[in-house]
Structure 1
Amino acid sequence: MQALHDTTKKLADLKGFHVPVLLKTIEDFEKAGVDEYFLEVERQKLLKLHVLIEELEAKAERLIKRLD
């Protein structure tokens, strides 16, 4: 039960804070004309976050199935 709670909290944090902050950073970088290298670094971070979110969602599904 605690593992599901922790996983759900991590998902909420990633979706509610980390992803929006990273999207805003990318937007600000684009507006400021930052070098493409730095934009790509931020985009790669965003991709990694999306992969992590998918993994955590799969983990949450497995935990829910165990509880049933």
Structure 2
Amino acid sequence: MPEITLELTEEQAGLLETVRLQQGLETQSQAAEWLIKQRMRGASLRLTGRNRALHAVGGPRK
């Protein structure tokens, strides 16, 4: 997957740090990815009424 670089405000970085600590993640990048996946799961659930697995296309299935 392509890497995306985001410029964050102090408030946004603080939010990512809070999420990182709550979820036991190693980096703020992982926290951002976790938040995005949560948002996508919620959108998928509202759209289809079912939970969907999220994984990279062509990536290994777990």
- TM score, norm. by length of structure 1: 0.36
Structure whose residues are more often helix by fraction: 1
Bigger Rg, which one = 1
- TM score, norm. by length of structure 2: 0.39
Higher relative contact order (CA 8 A, sep 6+): 1
